[in-house]
Amino acid sequence: MRLSFRSILIVLLVAIAPFALHAQSGTAQSGTAPAAGRIVGRVIDAATGQGITDVAIQIVGTTTGGMSGLEGRFTLSGVTAGTVTLQARRIGFAPKTVTGIFVEPGKTVEQNISLAQAAAQLSAQMVTAAAERGSVSEALDAQRTATGVVSAVTAEQIAKSPDGDAAQAVKRVSGVTVQDGKYVFVRGLGERYTTSSLNGARVPSPEPEKRVVPLDMFPAGLLQSITTSKTFTPDLQGDFSGALVDIKTKEFPARRSFSIQAGSGYAAGATGSQVTSATATGGEELAMVNHGRDLPTIIRNLGSFKNINLNQGDMNILVGSLRNSWTPTVRTAAPLMNGSASIGGNDPVLFGHRLGYLFSGSITSGTDTKDDQIRALADRGTTRGTTVEMDRFSGRAVSQSVLWGGLANLSTMIGNGSRVSFNGLYNRQADNDARVENGAFTADAVNVRISRMQYVQRSIYSGQLAGEHQIGTLQKIEWYATASGVRRYEPDRSEFVQVLEKDTPTGPVVPRWLSGGSGGAVRTFSDLTENSHEYSAKYSLDLGSAARFGSIKLGYLARTTARDAQSLSYSIAANPSLTTNAIRELPPEQLFDGRFTTASSKLFTFGPLSQGGSYIARDQIRAGFLMAEVPLSRSVRLIGGARYENDDLEVDAFSTLGSPVLTHKVWNDVLPSLALTMQLSNTQQLRLSASRTLARPEYRELSPIISRDVINGENLRGDETLERTNVTNADVRWELYPSSGEVLSIALFGKQFTNPIERVYGSGSGGTSFVFYTNAKSADNFGIEVELRKDLDGWFGKAFAPFSVFSNVTVMQSQIHLYPNTQASATNLSRRMVGQAPYVINSGVSYTSGNGKTSATLLFNRVGERITAAGGTPLPDVIEQPRNVMDFSLRLALSSNVTLRTDAKNLLDSPYEVIQGTVTRESYRTGRTVQAGLQWRP
Amino acid sequence: MHFTRRALAMSAVLLAALTSACSKDSTTAPSAPAPIVGVAVVAKSISSIQISFTSIAGDVSYDIERAEGTTGGTFAAVTNVPAPATAGAVTYTDASLKTNTTYRYRVFTNKNSLKSVASGEATTATLAFGNAAATITADIAASRTLFADTAYTISGFIHVGNGATLTIQPGTVIKGDYAVLGSTLMIMKGAKIQAVGTADAPIVFTSSRAAGSRQPGDWGGLILVGNGVNNRSGSVAVEGTGTDGATVVTGKNYTVVYNGGTIATDNSGTLAYVRVEFGGYAPLQDQEFNSFTFCAIGSGTRGSYLESLDGLDDSYEFFGGAIDLDHVIAFETADDVLDMSEGYSGRVQFAIGISTNQLTPRTGAGFYSVDLEGIENDGCNGTGCDLGHSSTPYTIPMIANFTLIGCGLQSCMGASGGHGMMLRRGTGGYYVNGVIARWSADGVSLRDTTTYVRGGSTTTPSTSADLQLRNILFAEVGPAGTPTLFQANTATPSTQFALDPTANSLTLSTATAASLFVLIPAVGTVPTTLSSFDFTPSTGSPIATGGLSTFTGSMLTKAGTFVTATTYRGAVDPAGAKWWAGWTNYARN
């Protein structure tokens, strides 16, 4: 079946309608007395953030009460409506009284409680309910209580920012830079050193030459938090050195709620104006393209073309089978649109058994432009190190994008000690790009126009069944089984090149098809899928007293990943002896309309460009870990352990000459880690940590064949002798938490890499080149990170109470040392690591009115100049220039359940610029955007 | 709670809808089946030919038909073969055929009681009574002789290793295996090739396909790698090598690095009366092999009486080194006749290049060139050119007595081609006593200030400059009606004495190219026999005289005893022997 946008909307509405219709009447049937409500929540240890079981919770002045269970969760039913006071008590902890909890009849109120260990705080505490809540504090708590160094962005923070997807949200984290709006670099280390997981399980990658995950595939509306772990602990997967970015999808809310949000926006330079636009076959606007772009069966049947020699009749048939679409059309750009809906709750649906649920969906679409787009290459000057511009092109790229997705999360408690949950997620994204540029090939002294259309569709699914079981008060088992998969589908990319010729020196410029060579008319079809199954089980045992808490954890993980990457390219040329200027002047849609593919035509030659280059990879990882958290004194804790990983990896590729090439690698590693956490005072903490981690080569890098890189068009060679990189990490971090929601932290980090993998250039005769990967000798990376979050009333008085400021700054340096006299000597031997920026700055100011109805946030981001590619000698490295980005967002509650959201992005519209020596390799502007929308939350 | 259950059910519907949205539709309309594409035929014996193709799933059967001859004849049914249940290879051997006879085959597809249109026609000839055969599939590590009574097939990438000498007897035929993509013979650093044929018994490297169905790119070519000098630093690989990785595996296309040598007089052997035909396979896009590739080949190596026929890239390409060649000819070169770069400093005397059109390459081997030139010389280009175009040693060859005849039409030359001589990126060189004819863009394109205002190229007196053009006749150069000696938008050569047309006898002739020679084919005709060519100056032709008969200055130093000064221009002495006759070939397929 085919789905239209409308039918999806109808399905969504039908799915949501029952909730809406019954939202009012549902309360009467909830099974509790009409005059009573419910309180749910968690009790956590203020020092460690761990849930505390067996805490007695009681409504003061009543007999209503209960005990906390797994993860400190509790539920109090039958609470008399009205304002109540709650008291939490447990041996070893200071009792706490929370006042002012307002319970509505038939409704549920959420109230989390933190308890301080009695040794640290002897007197009983009394706080108001409002003070005990707050999501920003939750993020900071996660940061404070984690064993390693982590930073988190929560749903609440995302909601206050203009960020539309996970990639935009994560760039607010200290030390994080985001490249191309997709790929995360942490502390200046390349994407190779950052791994991504979804609800704890590894996300497969849809990129053909890499193993990274483009985080823009996750709509912000589906996220609960993005946690960035920067130090290794043995319970984490060993192949990260920069960071592990864990995306958690939203959990169910404590009480039934739903919300609908819709908005629209304006992109300067695009919305409403006439823009070049890629052609469509149907379905592109929903990232569900129809079969119009499929590789014609008659071509697919020919496979790799090995030993197939086409005669003229064959070639006419094959050229005629291609879709006749080569140049963009012009259309009015649609405005930016976004919408989302979610429903969730916690109701006794299973024969009175409570089930937590959340269903959520969102969609974003729009047209982006890259204006004033310039790209050029740098040639060597005649003095060593100088550069000369060559092959300069200028033009404009227009992209129509859509991103939609949904999630379904279900969770239930079995008894007081077990929880079983299911998380399902499905996202789809598409970009339909059109680019027309004029320029020159300097060495050949010809002026050309290149028209390119490219449609890329990505999808990701993940299904996870997870459980947690508290056995007694001391033991806990956690497990999950996850199946996930991604696909990157790029059907039918087209490139058409015209030479801009002048018949006389003063005559008019006439565009004529570049009918010879291999690049005049090219179609490319690529498809990549990666599927992964991951199973994990962890056991933990608490030791010692509540006051001197310790634990032992052990666990096992198995993951199998299978990847299939295919890419096929075809080119059409014309027989020179039959080619006239009249033919070459035809627009491509006339040239290929069938007039030259009749049985008797002899004009066209058709052939494959990239025989081979496809590969299949299978990767199996088995890992086990053992770690212990030991209290050395009341304020000093030691966390140590080790992880063992076994990786068995096979890459099966076809060379361009049609021969199969198999690479098989087995690696066994033991990764130790040791951390020390010192509670210097109630508000200060110091952490020290040291660990060993690794980074494995990407799949394509291990296959020794040379093939054309789908994305960049460069020749790419892998190397079956590549070794994994071993990394030694050291971190020191001092943290101050002056009050709830405030933090000051200073961290120092250093990393030493053995055998780091670097992307370098190899040279070929006649000026040809290829990219390949090599183990460099070593690299170092060290730096300092400062993070500050402060409410301004403390500094400037009460008038500034609504304001808070935050900033994180990372300053770092790296140095990589290559082996001399290898084939990699075509790059500079000693330099910063590729991707490394000397500094990253994130800052912002936020305003929240006293009644919480109005909030505004101004965000600023700047990344120092960083190497995007190492230069081939004697050229300097390719540098991306710093760029100031400022975003503003405003949230205004119009009534108790309607909120107005306004977001303005890229207010400064600084150009994106990449330079090499004195040559501007690439530059463009993306333009400012303004969006507004309404959220309804009844 | 019924409402929640309903909601769950509806959500399941939603998820199901999302999932099925990704599944594929399939509707089949009854229509004529697609014809088979890629029918291949190969002679199996003196009386049988094997027809093979890949079936399409769902087809019922195939009708095979045959006709005799390369054209004409009547197609008659041979057989009907059933289609395999799943798509796969279909082969049929047609026996009881005539010996050494050409046949054409075509295939019709039957499906749903409908018959397809005919497939494209495939042509081959049955074998003649003949030679013993041997196939070479492994690298040659020890010295070896190839004998004239055996037909050899080079199958794969055959590297003759350091210390080994490959001796080839006169009259030996070596075929590049069409079935093993890019099959190529490489003489590696420290190895030698002694391929000395005679005018009566030349040594022939050609395609393994039958005469009549050969195409440019059927196989790779002959590549010599030496310990000579070039001007790029680091580690530079021969373009097109390395597609099977960097690790040495016998018979595979591993990376071959050619630079870094220091022995200017290195000796890689001798080539005489050698033809390389139908080479030029491109293992990577735009990285075709040349017919003859000389990678840093030292001056101790010699080449005489060489022919490049129907190659897909350049006929003779030099990456550094100093090898001297004499009496070389190139017919239907798909790119440049002579391509020199990276510090090549050798000499070439008596060179003929003639093209009439661009032949259709083998499918997947590469495409038509967009920049045909007679001479394309570069100083340095790419990574490892530490001083850019000015990297040293400079490319300073000497090319004397050349007759370079283009195909005459810009459409045939490609969008950026058609320059008789392209000198750029810091090259120098001595170009003397030549004829440049039928180049549609211009006679000479001088590019980059690094070429024409470089210290060495502007030295005075001009007889000591390292860039000199002397005594060259240009005919039919430039667009129709606009004879153009130098490309207008680059250098202003008249300000520089070494390039001054008048002072250096650079003649933009009004004579037609055809009138200069005894016989060359008219533009647009595609001759295939020796009798269509006689490159001797015609009676009274301006090229019979006008040569620079005395060398002086740096040109004399460069010429040494290898290049002799002549009173005529072009590759053939009006009173001399027709040196190309007897051992060359002009076949087109």
pLDDT in tens, A641-664: 999 999 999 999 888 787 788 899
Which of the residue ranges A44-53, A336-345, B159-168 has the most confident prediction, judged by mean pLDDT? B159-168
Residue showing tokens 């952490």: A687
User: Is A125 in the same domain as A84?
Assistant: yes
**Mean local confidence (pLDDT), B231-242:** 90
Contact: B3, A18; criterion CB under 8 Å:
yes
pLDDT at B228 over 50: yes
Q: Is residue A359 part of a domain?
A: no
Scanning A755-774 for CB atoms below 8 A from B yields 761-770
Residues 6+ apart with CB under 8 A from B336: B314, B315, B317, B372, B373, B374, B375, B376, B422
The whole-number pLDDT of residue B523 equals: 92
Contact: A317, B238; criterion CB under 8 Å:
no
CB atoms within 10 A of CB A151: 27
CA distance A382 to A117: 71
The whole-number pLDDT of residue B568 equals: 97
Q: Is residue A500 part of a domain?
A: no
Q: In this structure, which amino acid lies at residue A584? A: R
Q: Which of A202, A236, A251 is the last residue of a domain?
A: A251
Strand arrangement, sheet containing B40-43: B40-43, B49-54, B89-94
A794-818 per-position pLDDT tens digit: 777 777 878 888 888 989 998 888 7
Among the listed ranges A194-203, A709-718, A834-843, B175-184, which one has the minimum average pLDDT value? A709-718
Chain B residues closer than 8 Å to A718 by CB: 245
The whole-number pLDDT of residue A821 equals: 55
Contact: A443, B4; criterion CB under 8 Å:
no
Q: In this structure, which amino acid lies at residue A301? A: N
Chain A residues closer than 8 Å to B361 by CB: 605, 607
Is the omega angle on the peptide bond into residue B542 within 30 degrees of 0, that is, cis?
no
Among the listed ranges A237-251, A282-296, B300-314, which one has the minimum average pLDDT value? A237-251
Residue A657 structure tokens: 């000459």
CB of A726 closer than 8 Å to CB of A694: yes
Q: Indicate the pLDDT class of residue A27, thresholds 50, 70 and 90.
A: very low
Say if A610 is an interface residue toward chain B (CB within 8 Å): yes
pLDDT at A525 over 80: yes
User: Is A216 in the same domain as A153?
Assistant: yes
**Mean local confidence (pLDDT), A598-612:** 84
Which CATH number covers residue A191? Answer: 2.170.130.10
Task: Domain B40-125: give its CATH superfamily.
Answer: Immunoglobulins (2.60.40.10)
A550-568 per-position pLDDT tens digit: 889 999 999 999 999 888 8
Residue A184 CA: distances (Å) to CA of A161, A236, A364, A399: 18, 18, 21, 22
Scanning B197-236 for CB atoms below 8 A from A yields 215, 232-236
Contact: A408, B257; criterion CB under 8 Å:
no
Report the number of distinct structural domains present in chain A. Answer: 2
CA distance A738 to B132: 93
User: Is A119 in the same domain as A143?
Assistant: no
Distance of residue A11 Cα from the nearest chain B Cα, in angstroms: 6
The whole-number pLDDT of residue B1 equals: 40
Residue B2 CA: distances (Å) to CA of A19, A24, A347, A348, A350: 11, 14, 12, 11, 10
Scanning B52-71 for CB atoms below 8 A from A yields 54, 56
B56-86 per-position pLDDT tens digit: 888 999 999 999 988 888 999 999 999 998 8
Q: How far is CA B498 from the centre of its chain?
A: 32
Domain with CATH 2.160.20 in chain B: 132-559
Q: Indicate the pLDDT class of residue A822, thresholds 50, 70 and 90.
A: low
Is the omega angle on the peptide bond into residue B461 within 30 degrees of 0, that is, cis?
yes
Contact: B15, A288; criterion CB under 8 Å:
no
Q: Which of A251, A282, A306 is the last residue of a domain?
A: A251
Say if A21 is an interface residue toward chain B (CB within 8 Å): yes
**Mean local confidence (pLDDT), A831-852:** 82
Scanning B535-554 for CB atoms below 8 A from A yields none
Q: Is residue A63 part of a domain?
A: yes
Among residues A885, A890, A874, A867, the alpha carbon closest in space to that of A927 is found at: A885
Among residues A135, A121, A39, A47, the alpha carbon closest in space to that of A87 is found at: A39
pLDDT at A827 over 80: no
Q: Is residue A222 part of a domain?
A: yes
**Mean local confidence (pLDDT), A755-782:** 84
3-state class (DSSP) for residue B25 = coil
CA distance A84 to A97: 11
Residue showing tokens 């043995």: A234
Comparing B96 with A602, the larger pLDDT belongs to: A602
Contact: B245, A719; criterion CB under 8 Å:
yes
Residue A105 CA: distances (Å) to CA of A27, A61, A896: 9, 18, 18
A667-683 per-position pLDDT tens digit: 999 999 999 988 888 78
Above pLDDT 90, what percent of chain A? Answer: 26
A687-740 per-position pLDDT tens digit: 899 999 999 998 888 988 887 766 666 788 888 889 999 999 999 999 887 776
Contact: B34, A298; criterion CB under 8 Å:
yes
User: Is A122 in the same domain as A153?
Assistant: no
Q: Is residue A54 part of a domain?
A: yes
Per DSSP, A242 falls in state S
Per DSSP, B390 falls in state G
**Mean local confidence (pLDDT), A353-363:** 86
Residues 6+ apart with CB under 8 A from A633: none
Say if B453 is an interface residue toward chain A (CB within 8 Å): no
Q: Indicate the pLDDT class of residue B554, thresholds 50, 70 and 90.
A: very high
Scanning A899-928 for CB atoms below 8 A from B yields none
3-state class (DSSP) for residue A598 = coil
Above pLDDT 70, what percent of chain A? Answer: 87
Chain A residues closer than 8 Å to B4 by CB: 18, 347, 349, 357
CA distance A218 to A428: 9
CB of A397 closer than 8 Å to CB of A431: no
User: Is A96 in the same domain as A151?
Assistant: no
Among residues A590, A583, A525, the alpha carbon closest in space to that of A324 is found at: A590
Q: Indicate the pLDDT class of residue B219, thresholds 50, 70 and 90.
A: very high
A175-189 per-position pLDDT tens digit: 677 766 677 777 767
B200-234: burial string, b at 16+ Cβ within 10 Å, e else: eebbbbbbbbbeebbbbbbbbbbbbbbbbbbbbbb
Distance of residue B303 Cα from the nearest chain A Cα, in angstroms: 21
CA distance A933 to A265: 8
The whole-number pLDDT of residue B130 equals: 52
pLDDT at A839 over 60: yes
Residues 6+ apart with CB under 8 A from B12: none
Maximum distance among all alpha carbons in chain A? 100
Cβ-nearest to A764 among B239, B363, B445: B239
User: Is A205 in the same domain as A111?
Assistant: no
Q: Output the CA torsion B341→B344→B350→B356 (10° steps).
A: -10
User: Is A225 in the same domain as A143?
Assistant: yes
**Mean local confidence (pLDDT), A812-837:** 74
Contact: A579, B6; criterion CB under 8 Å:
no
Among the listed ranges A54-63, B187-196, B459-468, which one has the minimum average pLDDT value? A54-63
Among residues B108, B256, B95, the alpha carbon closest in space to that of B190 is found at: B256
Comparing A67 with A434, the larger pLDDT belongs to: A434
Chain A residues closer than 8 Å to B369 by CB: 516-517
Strand partners, A907: none
Residue showing tokens 């049947």: A301
3-state helix vs strand vs coil in chain A, percent to 5: 10, 55, 30
Domain of residue A48, residue span: 31-133
Contact: A765, B342; criterion CB under 8 Å:
yes
Q: Indicate the pLDDT class of residue B17, thresholds 50, 70 and 90.
A: very low
Concatenating the DSSP letter of every residue in A389-442 gives EEEEEEEEEEEEEEEEEEEEEEEEEETTTEEEEEEEEEEEEEEEEEEEEEEEET
User: Is A157 in the same domain as A198?
Assistant: yes
Residue of B nearest to A383 (CA): B387
Q: Which of A314, A765, A875 to mutate to test the interface with B (most CBs of B within 10 A)?
A: A765
The whole-number pLDDT of residue A13 equals: 35
pLDDT at B18 over 50: no
Distance of residue B451 Cα from the nearest chain A Cα, in angstroms: 11
Cβ-nearest to B238 among A655, A658, A765: A765
Element (H, E) at B383: none
Contact: B364, A22; criterion CB under 8 Å:
no
Contact: A605, B20; criterion CB under 8 Å:
no
Instruction: Enter the pTM of the model.
Output: 0.82
A206-233 per-position pLDDT tens digit: 776 666 777 877 877 777 788 888 888 8
pLDDT at B493 over 70: no
Say if B449 is an interface residue toward chain A (CB within 8 Å): no
Scanning B406-435 for CB atoms below 8 A from A yields 409, 411-416, 424-426
Comparing A190 with A596, the larger pLDDT belongs to: A596
Q: Is residue A301 part of a domain?
A: no
A313-340 per-position pLDDT tens digit: 999 999 999 999 999 998 888 888 988 8
A307-319: burial string, b at 16+ Cβ within 10 Å, e else: bbbbbbbbbbbbb
Chain A residues closer than 8 Å to B118 by CB: 313
Contact: B38, A406; criterion CB under 8 Å:
no
Concatenating the DSSP letter of every residue in B307-330 gives EEES-SS-SEEEES---EEEEEEE
Among the listed ranges A747-751, A859-863, B18-22, which one has the minimum average pLDDT value? B18-22
Say if A305 is an interface residue toward chain B (CB within 8 Å): yes
The rounded mean pLDDT for chain B is 89
User: Is A247 in the same domain as A143?
Assistant: yes
Chain B residues closer than 8 Å to A441 by CB: 416
Say if B390 is an interface residue toward chain A (CB within 8 Å): yes
pLDDT at B407 over 50: yes
Which of the residue ranges A403-417, A832-846, B9-23, B265-279 has the most confident prediction, judged by mean pLDDT? B265-279
The whole-number pLDDT of residue A521 equals: 94
Q: Is residue A127 part of a domain?
A: yes
CB of B197 closer than 8 Å to CB of B292: no
Maximum distance among all alpha carbons in chain B? 110
CB atoms within 10 A of CB A680: 13
Chain A residues closer than 8 Å to B8 by CB: 349, 357
Per DSSP, B499 falls in state G
Concatenating the DSSP letter of every residue in B253-308 gives ----B------TT---EEEEEEEEES----SBTTBPPPSEEEES--TT-EEEEEEE
Say if A297 is an interface residue toward chain B (CB within 8 Å): yes
The whole-number pLDDT of residue B443 equals: 95
Is the omega angle on the peptide bond into residue A874 within 30 degrees of 0, that is, cis?
yes
The whole-number pLDDT of residue A187 equals: 74
User: Is A165 in the same domain as A229?
Assistant: yes
Cβ-nearest to B245 among A381, A441, A720: A720
Contact: A581, B411; criterion CB under 8 Å:
yes
**Mean local confidence (pLDDT), B337-356:** 96
Say if A377 is an interface residue toward chain B (CB within 8 Å): no
pLDDT at A594 over 50: yes
The whole-number pLDDT of residue B7 equals: 46
Q: Is residue A383 part of a domain?
A: no
Residue of A nearest to B20 (CA): A1
Comparing A251 with A548, the larger pLDDT belongs to: A251
Q: Which of A251, A286, A304 is the last residue of a domain?
A: A251
User: Is A241 in the same domain as A162?
Assistant: yes
CB of A729 closer than 8 Å to CB of A232: yes
CA distance B204 to B146: 12
Number of A/B CB contacts below 8 angstroms equals 334
CB of B334 closer than 8 Å to CB of B355: no
Distance of residue A516 Cα from the nearest chain B Cα, in angstroms: 5
Residue of B nearest to A30 (CA): B1
Three-state secondary structure along A478-544?
Answer: EEEEEEEEEEEEEEEEEEEEEEEEECCCCCCEEEEECCCCCCCEEEEEEEEEEEEEEEEEEEEEEEC
Q: Indicate the pLDDT class of residue B469, thresholds 50, 70 and 90.
A: very high
A110-142 per-position pLDDT tens digit: 788 877 765 443 445 555 554 444 444 455 555
The CATH T-level fold of domain B132-559 is Pectate Lyase C-like (2.160.20)
Domain with CATH 2.60.40.10 in chain B: 40-125
Helix axes B2-21, A5-22, angle to 10 degrees: 170
Chain B residues closer than 8 Å to A823 by CB: 234-235, 237, 246, 255, 257
User: Is A142 in the same domain as A37?
Assistant: no
Chain A residues closer than 8 Å to B14 by CB: 11-12, 15, 406
Cβ-nearest to B363 among A291, A305, A406: A305
Residues 6+ apart with CB under 8 A from A381: A387, A388, A917, B388
Scanning A436-455 for CB atoms below 8 A from B yields 441, 443-446
Element (H, E) at B559: helix B553-559
**Mean local confidence (pLDDT), A831-858:** 83
CB of B139 closer than 8 Å to CB of B160: yes
